[in-house]
Amino acid sequence: MAILVDEKSRIIIQGLTGKVGRIFSERMVQNKTPLVGGVTPGRGGSVDSYGVPVFDSVREAEQATQADWSLVCVPALAVRDAVIEAIDAGITHIVVYAEGVPAHDALAFLDYASLKNVAIFGPNSAGVFSPGRANVSDLDDRIVESGDIGIVSKSGTLTYEVIEVLKQIGLGVSTVACLGGDPLIGTEYVQLLKEFAEDEQTKIVVLLGEPGGDLEIKAANYIRQMKKPVVAYIVGQNAPRGKKMGHAGALVSSQEETAESKKEILQNAGAYVVSTLTQIPNVVKSLQDRNGCAITR
């Protein structure tokens, strides 16, 4: 079993017929992701170019399809309203794809989601993907194979690279979840590590982090008590201090938040820490060889 999303999930796209929504709709239909509908106000009652039913509101979509997942593909300044609408309609898992959501908007809907027990991925998240089951991410289905590595990451583009190097040594993925590159994001590493710890399919977890914020440090506290091995890579060990080198979330505001410091904290918690992307396959391989498939620490 993968975690979070699978073939039994019922997914909708908010902004289905928009520029971004259309790309996802086509891909999901082609690759048999359980996309049950989408929302574009004013176009309810029709179907999109790929045969997916369109609804006027999330509530109508939920009533007709029992949707539990939503991929929010609306522009950044419309995200707040879209997410709150989805929460009000009873959606339990939401991916916010847009980059550039104002901080106050994120504060409000993240707060509302946590009060209503709704899981938010993002903003600025590449999404969640359980290969062969369901893909609510911008990862191309063709590049990811099913397997026993769980991946949790802040960065979409780094995740592609990690999947690639794992594939080269014949390893696939149980679930990959991208948390998002913004300073304020919903679901954190810890929640996903807990899910991966209990997932039978997942044998090893790869954690990808970056400088800035304290989420990797919180993750280290949980890794301490985990039996499954966690391989961790924090990018940006060579990034100069005080320069914005990518994600808005990657700005360092205290010594503890640098890549070096996070690396050390994770190492002390028992994670297998690497310094570069190309070291990941070697470490994963050696962990696998040590105990065959049933890897425990």
Residues that bind another protein (CB under 8 A): 23, 76-77, 100-105, 107-108, 110-112, 114-115, 138-140, 153-161, 164-165, 181, 183-184, 208, 210, 213-214, 233, 235-240, 243-247, 250, 275-278
Q: How far is the CB of 97 from another protein (least distance, A)?
A: 11
Q: How far is the CB of 184 from another protein (least distance, A)?
A: 6
CA-based nearest residue to 5, from 91, 64, 74:
91
Compute the distance between CA of residue 258 and CA of residue 106 in angstroms, rounded to an integer: 24
From the list 80, 247, 262, 263, the catalytic residue is: 247
φ, ψ of residue 11 in degrees (nearest 5):
-105, 140
Compute the distance between CA of residue 97 and CA of residue 125 in angstroms, rounded to an integer: 5
Q: How far is the CB of 123 from another protein (least distance, A)?
A: 10
Which residue number, 29 or 76, has a Cβ lying nearer to another protein? 76
Compute the distance between CA of residue 131 and CA of residue 144 in angstroms, rounded to an integer: 6
Which residue number, 117 or 238, has a Cβ lying nearer to another protein? 238
Which residue number, 50 or 68, has a Cβ lying nearer to another protein? 50
Q: The dihedral of CA 15, 20, 23, 28: what is its sign?
A: negative
Other Cβ atoms closer than 10 A to 77: 12
Is 128 in a helix, a strand, or coil? Answer: strand
Which residue number, 5 or 67, has a Cβ lying nearer to another protein? 5
Q: How far is the CB of 104 from another protein (least distance, A)?
A: 4
* Residue 104 annotated among the catalytic residues of the structure: no
The answer to whether 21 and 73 are in contact (CB under 8 A) is yes
Instruction: Please give the positions annotated as active site.
Output: 247
